[in-house]
Amino acid sequence: MPVPFQRVYLESAGYFLPGEPVSNEGMDAYIAPLNRMSQRIKRRILAENGIRERYYAIDAEGRTVYSNAQLAAGAIRHCLQQGAAELSRVSLLASGSSGGDALMPGFANMIQGELAAPPMETLSVHGICAAGVSAIQAAAQGVEMGAHRSALAVASEMPSRLFKRSRFAARGYECDFDSHFLRWMLSDGAGALLLSDGAPALAGTHGAAGVRLRLKWIHQRAFSGDYPVCMQLGLTEDRARGHLDFASWSEAEAAGALSLRQDIRLLPHLFDIGIHEYAGLVREGWVDPSRVDHFLCHYSSEKFIPVVDGLMQKAGLAIPRERWYSNLAWRGNTGAASIMIMLAEFLQTRSLKAGEQIFCYVPESGRFMAAYMLFEVEAADAAAVPAPARAAVPAAAEPEAQAIAPPHDPAGAPQALGGLLTELASIWHDYRSRVWRTPLVRQIRERRFALPNYLNWMEHWIPQVREGSKWMREGASSLAQPYQSLASLIGVHASEEQDDFMILFSDYRKAGGAVDDIDALRRNPGGEALNAYLHGLAATPNPVGLLGAIYIIEGTGQRIVPALLPLIKAGLKLPPEALRFLEYHGHNDENHLNRWLAAVEMAMALDGEGGAARRIIDTARHTAALYLMQFEHVTQAQPARP
């Protein structure tokens, strides 16, 4: 039975196709013939499939120009641009693909990382052509249930890497017809849809002002138990062994287990079951062929147009050919992404009127699936079905969240501090996520962090660290007599910190830093703002809120820096004496944070007015925002020098 929807709207759609279109004549530069038989097979297949242009994310030398995750990210950016929407609105990302760039982790997580997207729920659907519809269904169900106001579905494919001539060297450039076939059929691209629980006018649509597009239902059914494998990657030609059953990857490749194949003899059965399923939808009242104004059918080859049309006519359920839409000829067959690319381009080039219906059909040949979607155009001012009341749904944690946990676990805290540490942990998670997505940290994570970047960072950071012990001592001196035990503890900490900036400056010089006078270094705007804020707070009476600042600053050294240090070491190849400060904080800030916890217990015990906890929390929040600003400005400006 189809999954019905009442309150899911298609807000915008986009796509990304890499490079310039490649003509049939230009294919050999990317998908080179393997042997004398190749050209004959190529001519036959291209004559039947009707594809005139396609796109590849590799260059003529076989080098990857765009990764699959980058294709998906490009489609998402285009989709959001079409709807003038912000990524920060999205709380669910569902992806569909036959494979990402890595065997693990999940493709949706890799796309989220490529976008530097905020924490959100993710879902990776692994399949073939219908995987894109599965991603749409997952996103739509999240919106329908009220768990998400906005959700993204994206599908991306990059089969070109499998078709390079070098992939067939281990087999002497010989291969069976089934693996020849798809080399001339498939190409690269990505599409994305933004779904929400109530869009105004449909964005990015030609001549469609004043309308919106509601998703009425999605139906998918697999027939994998009825038929053998038709399209596959990872099995030998006889399907007897999988690629992981071989002693090595090279042996698997030599045996043909890493060749993408399709058994074209089975394909007629795929359309037979698909039309049978369509007839059932008509019979049960889910779709009326006479009401379908636009039929978007994903077929891999124009050869199958009369096959599909003929079967529909035999069933007495034909949709007139003038209502069909496909961009296969000029966009190519992009697998799971095809229906999204098709829908996005359709919406951007066609005029729509209220009451029209768009029916989508996606057959999948992997082990036979059929997927269908029905959209209906509504007037933008039509009454929308209200979304159900939503319980607060926490955002899904990023993969790094567990590795960079809060400095103190609220569950293990002394009973009197549980509430305080819970609020601080919430501030920490938001701060950590934002730091992890700053340009500086992205450079480090993506191995684009070179020595000049490291030196520039140090030039911003050294003068900020230099101020640390100063504002701590000022704060300690501003504590009244009842807080003298706390003042002494802060003083001990300030004494340990007072020489940190000299260690950092020495590291900078040993790494090749050109500035030899430490007084010539200046903080960037974020560092200046943080410094002014902390010195100003330290001068107020009994500034116990400074403990919130120490929580963020010491937590950064004890949690975030150790996660970055291995990446910095791997990328820069600096001698150990040039990284002493980063090593030191990774090893010693645990002791500093234990001392911090003792200081907080002391402050809470001495708090006669009951406002200490709120002051600590507020200061932590402000410090996190300003420290984040310091991170962001590292790559935006050079520190001023006299």
**Residue predicted with more confidence, 155 or 404:** 155
- Residue 399: pLDDT over 50: no
256 pLDDT tier (thresholds 50, 70, 90): confident
Spatial contact of 22 and 211, defined as CB atoms under 8 Å apart: no
CB burial string 118-128: b at 16+ within 10 A, e below: bbbbbbbbebb
State residue 608's pLDDT score.
Answer: 67
Q: 370 - beta bridge partners? A: 221, 363
State residue 311's pLDDT score.
Answer: 84
Spatial contact of 434 and 493, defined as CB atoms under 8 Å apart: no
- Residue 337: pLDDT over 50: yes
Query: Residue written as tokens 């993710």?
Result: 122
Section 282-294 average pLDDT: 94
Per-domain residue ranges for the chain?
A: 3-379, 410-633
Q: What is the pLDDT of residues 523-548, one digit of tens each?
A: 889 989 999 999 999 999 999 999 88
Between 68-77, 203-212, 477-486, 578-587, the lowest mean confidence (pLDDT) is in 203-212
State residue 637's pLDDT score.
Answer: 54
Percent of the chain residues topping a pLDDT of 70: 91
Which range, 50-54, 376-380, 502-506, 551-555, has the best average confidence (pLDDT)? 50-54
pTM for the structure as a whole? 0.79
584: closest CA among 558, 563, 602, 603?
Answer: 558
Residues 450 and 457: their CA atoms lie apart, in Å, by 11
* Three-state secondary-structure class, residue 51: coil
617 pLDDT tier (thresholds 50, 70, 90): very high
Section 270-282 average pLDDT: 90
User: What is the overall mean pLDDT for the chain?
Assistant: 87
State residue 393's pLDDT score.
Answer: 35
452, amino acid identity? P
CATH code for 410-633? Answer: 1.20.910.10
- Residue 397: pLDDT over 80: no
Q: What is the pLDDT of residues 414-429, one digit of tens each?
A: 777 888 888 888 898 8
Spatial contact of 295 and 149, defined as CB atoms under 8 Å apart: no
Strand 231-232 vs strand 261-262: parallel, antiparallel, or unpaired?
antiparallel
State residue 386's pLDDT score.
Answer: 59
592 pLDDT tier (thresholds 50, 70, 90): low
Which range, 77-81, 197-201, 626-630, has the best average confidence (pLDDT)? 77-81
Spatial contact of 526 and 628, defined as CB atoms under 8 Å apart: yes
State residue 202's pLDDT score.
Answer: 62
**Residue predicted with more confidence, 409 or 137:** 137
362: closest CA among 578, 610, 618, 96?
Answer: 96
Q: What is the pLDDT of residues 441-494, one digit of tens each?
A: 988 888 889 999 999 998 998 888 888 888 888 988 998 888 888 888 888 777
For residue 65, give the H/E element and its range. none
Section 261-275 average pLDDT: 86
3-379: CATH architecture:
3-Layer(aba) Sandwich (3.40)
- Residue 201: pLDDT over 70: no
Residues 222 and 437: their CA atoms lie apart, in Å, by 39
Query: Residue written as tokens 């190409």?
Result: 187
The most distant pair of C-alpha atoms in the chain lies apart, rounded to whole Å, by 94
**Residue predicted with more confidence, 159 or 269:** 159
